[in-house]
Amino acid sequence: MTGSASLAPLPAGASNAKAPQDWVDHFLLVGPDDEECLHFGTPVDRKTLRALVAEQAERLRGAGLLAGGTAALRLAPSLGYTAALLACWQLGAQVVLLDHRLTDHEVGLALERLAPQVLVESAHRPAAALRGFAETDPVPRARPGGRPAATDHTLLQLSSGSTGPAKVIARTAADLLRELDCYRRLTLFPKAGERVVLLSSVVHVLGLVGGLLNSLHSHVPLTIPERMTPAGILAAIGQDDRPTTVIGVPFHAELLAGAGASPPLPQLRRMIVAGESIRPGLPAAFTARYGVPLGTMYGMTELGVIATDLDGSLYPQAEPVHGLDLREDGGELHIAMAGSPYPGLADPTRWSDGWLHTRDAARVDPQDRRVTVLGRRDSQVSIGGLKVDLTEVEQALAALPQVREAVVVFENGAIEAYLATEPAADPAAVRDALTRQLASYKRPRQLSFLPALPRTATGKLVRDTSALRAAVPPADAAGAPAL
């Protein structure tokens, strides 16, 4: 199989349209046999990848997976994960992605809830925590009582769970192709002749679609570092002379901005992050360290990429991607979406009348349609009748010199803040600085100091109050009053 394919634009709301039956072969696997497409420690060409996908497809058929069937993948980032995923889709199955870092208990709950017919796990031990990728030998196993797909969705994902229990989000193949077309139209996103170093999880939307699938589709080789440490990431950037874009979450940009001395990296063009708001000052710190921009993207698991500022020139605004219809409704961002992405869930506060309710506070400029995301709607609370934006409080804390990161929550009528500070930080100095920064009604009633804030498997800061409280060291479990 040789040659390449371009993706024709799909209309907005195409998530309910049909994709070509051979969409995996036509859009993801096509290309010259000797073309490098992936790099998991060693380069992988398209001929090798196609052979691995065919091998996995035979194993899956042997486990009983057919068109319209369901499979759950619990695999670490790897060549085996990639081959198994593409093989499931090639067979016409619906795939549930389970993060390999979930506990057996969490996986058991997900399997009971979703009832896939086949579970694919690795014959090898789980990867070490700081490994970027792993050696996997996918082993499919039939599950008695598993159910076939009840919808035509290709992909089921679980939300990050950063604010509470995860929800099930479904996407069709046509919706994935629509998102790939959005990436194709972004002038500053990596093109053929360049390469990507991916730090985001390939189980979740940014790493999966913006990283893995887009790289296969755009013929941009993708590298996952051997180790997710500053030294490991910088080594992955420096191992190839081709123009390189790094894709990750803000946590990765923080790691790199604070890294020690490294050899010059003339191939580095930019880093792009998504997943949560960036700390004030991080773009300037990253650019000062590497001489390239820190771009941002705004998106959701339900839709993928929504708006971008890839060179950092539009902040705090972002440019909507091609084909999305956006509106501001009562201060909340709504996006046109023909069908609900939540299978089995009828919740008009999330989707109704052809509109996805993002639950993000935002402004949409009436002239250029650029979006300014202001934070979660549930981050706006009332203190004594006065409105307080918890995002503003969080950004004020994160901007303090001794604070590395902050999470602010509202519980039982009071604001609480959880801070990760520098080792020599003086809590009294932090409280004094906050007093000068914020009006008294905006200040947290309680400050808790932690060595590091808890994060989800995807690197997002956890915002569930019970999980934050559980992470507070015993000596500080009562918290310190902010005033």
115-121 average pLDDT score: 97
Take residue 222 and report the two structure tokens written for it. Answer: 């993708």
| pLDDT at residue 481, rounded to an integer | 57
What do you get for the CA distance between the two ends of the chain, in Å? 68
Closest CA to 169 of 178, 151, 156: 156
Domain with CATH 3.40.50.12780 in the chain: 1-378
Phi, psi at 81, each rounded to 5°: -60, -45
Q: Which residue has the tokens 């400029």?
A: 365
Take residue 380 and report the two structure tokens written for it. Answer: 């706006």
Angle between helices 230-238 and 250-257 (to 10 degrees): 90
Q: What confidence tens digit (pLDDT) does each residue in 365-422 have?
A: 999 999 999 888 777 787 866 778 888 888 889 888 889 889 999 888 889 999 998 8
| pLDDT at residue 384, rounded to an integer | 67
| pLDDT at residue 319, rounded to an integer | 97
| pLDDT at residue 476, rounded to an integer | 59
Contact present, 178 and 14 (Cβ < 8 Å): yes
| CA pair distance 257, 197, nearest whole angstrom | 16
Q: Mind giving me the DSSP string for 124-147?
A: SPPPPTTBSS----EEEEE-TT--
Confidence of residue 11 (pLDDT cuts 50, 70, 90): very low
- DSSP lists the bridge partners of residue 357 as 334
Q: Which residue has the tokens 């990867």?
A: 127
| pLDDT at residue 377, rounded to an integer | 79
Cβ-Cβ contacts under 8 Å for 204 (sequence gap 6 or more): 97, 99, 157, 160, 301, 458
Phi, psi at 19, each rounded to 5°: -95, 160
Q: What is the third-level CATH fold of 384-481?
A: GMP Synthetase; Chain A, domain 3 (3.30.300)
| CA pair distance 41, 223, nearest whole angstrom | 8
The sign of the CA dihedral 202, 205, 211, 215 is positive
Confidence of residue 424 (pLDDT cuts 50, 70, 90): confident
Q: What is the third-level CATH fold of 1-378?
A: Rossmann fold (3.40.50)
Name the DSSP class of 214.
H
Q: Please count the other Cβ atoms lying within 10 Å of the Cβ belonging to residue 139.
A: 16
C-alpha angle 302-303-306 in degrees, rounded to nearest 5: 135
Domain with CATH 3.30.300.30 in the chain: 384-481
Question: Residue 110 pLDDT > 70, yes or no?
Answer: yes
Question: Residue 90 pLDDT > 70, yes or no?
Answer: yes
Name the DSSP class of 377.
G
Mean pLDDT, the chain, rounded, equals 89
Q: What confidence tens digit (pLDDT) does each residue in 264-308 have?
A: 999 999 999 998 888 888 999 999 999 999 999 999 999 999 999
Name the DSSP class of 19.
P
| pLDDT at residue 482, rounded to an integer | 56
| pLDDT at residue 127, rounded to an integer | 65
Q: Which residue has the tokens 């020139």?
A: 313
Is the pTM higher than 0.95? The answer reads no
Mapped onto helix, strand or coil, the DSSP state of residue 397 is: helix
CA neighbours within 13 Å on the CB side: how many for 215? Answer: 29
| CA pair distance 49, 29, nearest whole angstrom | 8
Question: Residue 163 pLDDT > 60, yes or no?
Answer: no
| pLDDT at residue 479, rounded to an integer | 54
Confidence of residue 441 (pLDDT cuts 50, 70, 90): confident
| pLDDT at residue 436, rounded to an integer | 87
Cβ-Cβ contacts under 8 Å for 433 (sequence gap 6 or more): 400, 401, 402
The β-bridge relationship of strands 94-97 and 36-39 is unpaired
- DSSP lists the bridge partners of residue 352 as 355
- DSSP lists the bridge partners of residue 317 as 372
Confidence of residue 169 (pLDDT cuts 50, 70, 90): very high
Contact present, 43 and 36 (Cβ < 8 Å): yes
Q: Mind giving me the DSSP string for 233-285?
A: HHHHHHT--S-EEEEE-HHHHHHHHT-------TTEEEEEE-SSPPPTTHHHH
